[in-house]
Amino acid sequence: MLPDLNRIKVFYYIYTHESTIKAAEKLYITQPAVSQQLRKLESEIKVPLFTRLHKKIIPTAAGHKLYAAVKPFIENLECEVQTISTPMDRPYGLLRIGTPTVFGTKYLPRICHNFRKQYQDVRFSIKFEESDVLLDLLHKGDLDFALIDYFSPHDQLCGRPELYRIEPLIEENLILACSNRYFEGKIKNDLSYDHLVKMDFLTDENEPIILKHWFWLYFQKPVSNLSMVMAIEGHHALMSCIKQGMGLGITSLHLFAKEIENGSIIPIFPTQSKLINNVSLVSLQAKVETITEKKFQDYLKKQFNKS
C-alpha cells in the first residue's frame, strides 16, 4: 500500500533542506505541521527516517533509501508540470518520436540536432521499432507521432487507415541485392523466375513478406518455400550478410549506393518496375498537435524536400 503522498512530499523537503524549519518555509506551512506529517509517515511505514539531534536531523539508512526512490519522481513531476504550464507560443519540452531503426539512425540525429539549434528548449525521445509496434505505442499515447515505413497501408495500418493522419514523407526504392561474387557465381545473368526462386535468400523479418512482394511485382507469381539461409534481426546485419555473399536480400537502394556504383553489390531488376517503400508521418487523427510537433514536422518535411 502506498504511503500518503503529501507526507512523502514533506519528507522530500525535510531531507533536501536538512531541516524541518526550512521545509516548512518551502511548503508554506508551520514547523509543527511538518514534524507531525513526518511522525505520521514514520508510523505508517514503521521505520524511523531521521535521527534527531539537538537542532539537527540526520537521515537513517531507511531515510536515504526512501529519498533515492522518491527523488526522481518528485523532480520529474516538477519538470513536467513546468512544461505543461509553459505558454506554448514556441517549441518547448519533450518530443516523442517512433521510427524504423535504419531510417531513424541515418537521418534523425542530424535533423534533431539542427532543429535544436533553432529551438534549444526542445528535447527528443526516439523509439526504434517495427511499424506494428509503433502503431500500438501511438494508440497508447506513448508517442507523439511516428515515421512508419510500409508498402501496403492496408496491411500495416491495421486495416483502419481512418484512425490515422498520414502524410507521405519520402519514397525509398527497395531492391533485391547480392554481392558481385554471388551474382557471378550463382545467378550468372539469368534473371528468370524459375532460376531466381532457387537462389539463397536473406531476411530481417519473421516472415519474408517483402521478398514475396518483390516476386509478385516483377513476375506476377506467388512464391513459397524459398531457401532462407539467414533470418537475422537488424537491417545493418542483413546488409553485412549480403556483402559477405551469403545470398539475396531486400534493402534500400540508397543504403548501397556507393557499393552499387563501384560494382561490389548488384541490384536485381528483371524489369523496369520499382518496389517502393513509403515512409510517412503518422499520428492519431483525433490528436490535437502541439506547436512543437507542428514545427518539427514542418522542419522534417522541408529537409526531405531539399533532398
Q: What is the 3 state secondary structure string of 50-108?
A: EEEECCEEEECHHHHHHHHHHHHHHHHHHHHHHHHHCCCCCCCEEEEEEECHHHHHHHH
| Beta-carbon contacts of residue 281 (< 8 Å; ≥ 6 apart) | 145, 146, 147, 165, 166, 167, 169, 297, 300, 301
φ, ψ for residue 150, nearest 5 deg: -155, 155
| Closest to 266 measured CA to CA, from 202, 195, 176, 194 | 176
For the question of whether the overall pTM of this predicted structure is more than 0.75, the answer is no
pLDDT, average across residues 152-163: 50
Residue 112: per-residue pLDDT: 96
Distance of CA 44 to the CA centre of its chain: 41
Structural domains of the chain, ranges and CATH numbers in brackets: 5-85 (1.10.10.10), 93-171+278-306 (3.40.190.10), 172-276 (3.40.190.10)
Average pLDDT value for the chain? 87
Q: How far apart are CA 169 and CA 149, in angstroms?
A: 10
Statement: residue 250 has pLDDT above 90: yes
Distance of CA 134 to the CA centre of its chain: 8
Q: Is 159 exposed, middle or buried (0-12, 13-18, 19+ CB in 10 A)?
A: exposed
pLDDT, average across residues 154-172: 67
Q: What's the helix, strand, coil split of the chain in %, to 5? A: 50, 25, 25
Residue 159: per-residue pLDDT: 44
Query: Residues of the chain with pLDDT > 90: what percent?
Result: 52
pLDDT, average across residues 138-152: 82
The residue written with cell numbers 540508397 in the block is: 254
| Beta-carbon contacts of residue 36 (< 8 Å; ≥ 6 apart) | none
Asked if residue 171 lies in contact with residue 274, where contact means CB atoms within 8 angstroms, the answer is no
Q: Tell me the per-residue pLDDT of 168-183, one tens digit each, with 9 for 90 and over.
A: 888 888 999 999 999 9
How do 145-150 and 275-284 pair as beta strands? Answer: antiparallel
Q: How far apart are CA 42 and CA 303, in angstroms?
A: 57
| Closest to 33 measured CA to CA, from 58, 9, 56, 17 | 9
Statement: residue 151 has pLDDT above 80: no
Residue 88: per-residue pLDDT: 61
Residue 276: per-residue pLDDT: 84
Statement: residue 85 has pLDDT above 70: no
Statement: residue 153 has pLDDT above 50: no
pLDDT, average across residues 206-216: 83
Q: Which of 32-36, 150-154, 236-240, 263-267 has the lowest mean pLDDT?
A: 150-154
Residue 268: per-residue pLDDT: 95
Number of other CB atoms surrounding residue 207 within 10 Å: 10
Q: How far apart are CA 61 and CA 102, in angstroms?
A: 47
Bridge partner residues of 267 (DSSP): 177
Asked if residue 177 lies in contact with residue 265, where contact means CB atoms within 8 angstroms, the answer is yes
279 band by pLDDT with thresholds 50, 70 and 90: confident
1 band by pLDDT with thresholds 50, 70 and 90: low
Asked if residue 274 lies in contact with residue 250, where contact means CB atoms within 8 angstroms, the answer is no
| Higher per-residue pLDDT: 180 or 75 | 180
Number of other CB atoms surrounding residue 146 within 10 Å: 25
Asked if residue 304 lies in contact with residue 278, where contact means CB atoms within 8 angstroms, the answer is no
Residue 234: per-residue pLDDT: 81
